[in-house]
Amino acid sequence: QKEVEQDPGPLSVPEGAIVSLNCTYSNSAFQYFMWYRQYSRKGPELLMYTYSSGNKEDGRFTAQVDKSSKYISLFIRDSQPSDSATYLCAMSQGAQKLVFGQGTRLTINP
């Protein structure tokens, strides 16, 4: 079983929809949770960063962490075609390596 599980999709939604992306994990020592966005043929770009449990909002993006359930989410409101990319969750135990989910390929249809 992988430490971090993420549904690879693909996920296709119409423009303007609310998108929900999720990851589950097994290592309760993870404290730092990140979401990266990766466009085709590009490196991952840091989107959101959260420490421990709670919510964090940045514009149309909201990250949620529920450590009791070992479950993290990324919500995208008013989705745009430019949001079409692969979204990767990542987590770490502080100054350790990042452990990534498989990535979810998202397409926003105009």
Partner 1 sequence: KAGVTQTPRYLIKTRGQQVTLSCSPISGHRSVSWYQQTPGQGLQFLFEYFSETQRNKGNFPGRFSGRQFSNSRSEMNVSTLELGDSALYLCASRDRQGQETQYFGPGTRLLVL
Q: Which residues bind partner 1 (CB under 8 A)?
A: 32, 34, 36, 41-46, 49, 51, 88, 90, 92, 94-103
The CB-of-105 to partner 1 minimum distance in angstroms stands at 11
β-pair partners for 105: 86
HSE toward the beta carbon, residue 62, CA cutoff 13 A: 9
DSSP string, 5-25: EE----EEEETT--EEEEEEE
Residue number with CB closer to partner 1 (32 or 61) = 32
Residue number with CB closer to partner 1 (76 or 89) = 89
